[in-house]
Structure 1
Amino acid sequence: MSTMQVEVVSNEENIYSGEASFVVVPTLEGELGIYPRHEPIMSLVRPGTLRLTVPNQKQEILVAVSGGVLEVQPNKLTLLADVAVRSEEMDQQRAEEAKKIAESGIHEAKDDVSLAKAHVALAAAIAQLKTLDYLRTHRK
């Protein structure tokens, strides 16, 4: 089985570093499936679920990403995420509460900086909710 090196990094930490045989990335143009030896590309990432198929591992690794930049080389995929959270660190109730707080922050923003921060928080909460929904529908 052919693999590629995958690096997923957020502003706070290294989320995943290792090999994968297949990766699905939520891009602005839609979900992009990437196998090893893919043509080089760069793309913007939208809020959603990053899915990693790892050799010798039954379950996909799921990561909620709120946006960022993707670079693909034939044997390496790098995703620099604005915010990224692994699925095992997520909680439905916390994500829903974070979404409500972010939406309130958008409505109450008094300047561009607070509005931008609220939009980032909303994107992160939406990405987590999408990932939790994917878990519910695909892992029973």
Structure 2
Amino acid sequence: MALRLEIIAAEKIIFEGEVESLVAPGIDGQLGILPKHATLITVLQAGELRYRTTGTGSDVQKLYINSGFLDVQADHVAALIEVTATE
């Protein structure tokens, strides 16, 4: 089962696709998000946003952010962010 992820910055859509998991820098610590997660809206702080893409050869992508918001639904996550850099 996969999680639909959208990472959106002011200038462009950075990522849109299916992922196995997401780890985001929440205001009170790291947030781990998997499919079927409880509904959640939270503020993100500066740090590393990591997500594992689906499929064979799936790997972890990293994105360094300054701040943002995370909107989590059962199988859909939208991250509205101010981006620092990608790796």
TM above 0.5, yes or no, is: yes
d(CA) in 2 for partners of 1:73, 1:64? 23
Q: Which residue of 2 is the match for residue 47 of structure 1?
A: 46
Q: How many residues align?
A: 86
The answer on whether the counterparts of 1:15 and 1:84 sit within 8 Å (CA) in structure 2 is no
Larger Rg: 1
**Cα separation, partners in 2 of 1:13 and 1:85, compared to 1, 3 Å:** farther
- For CA contacts below 8 A with separation 6 or more, give which structure has more relative contact order: 2
Matches within 5 A, 1:8-87: 8-55=7-54, 56-87=56-87
| CA apart distance, 1:13 | 1.0
d(CA) in 2 for partners of 1:9, 1:84? 13
- Secondary structure of the residue aligned to 1:42 is strand
d(CA) in 1 for partners of 2:57, 2:8? 21
Q: Which residue of 2 is the match for residue 112 of structure 1?
A: none
The one-letter code sitting in structure 2 at the alignment partner of 1:62 is K
Q: Which residue of 2 is the match for residue 103 of structure 1?
A: none
**Cα separation, partners in 2 of 1:4 and 1:51, compared to 1, 3 Å:** same
| CA apart distance, 1:84 | 4.8
In structure 1, stretches of 5+ residues that fail to align are 88-140
**Of Structure 1 and Structure 2, which has the larger fraction of its residues in strand?**
2
| CA apart distance, 1:65 | 1.1
Give the percent of matched residue pairs that are identical in Structure 1 and Structure 2.
26
* RMSD after superposition: 1.1
The one-letter code sitting in structure 1 at the alignment partner of 2:86 is R
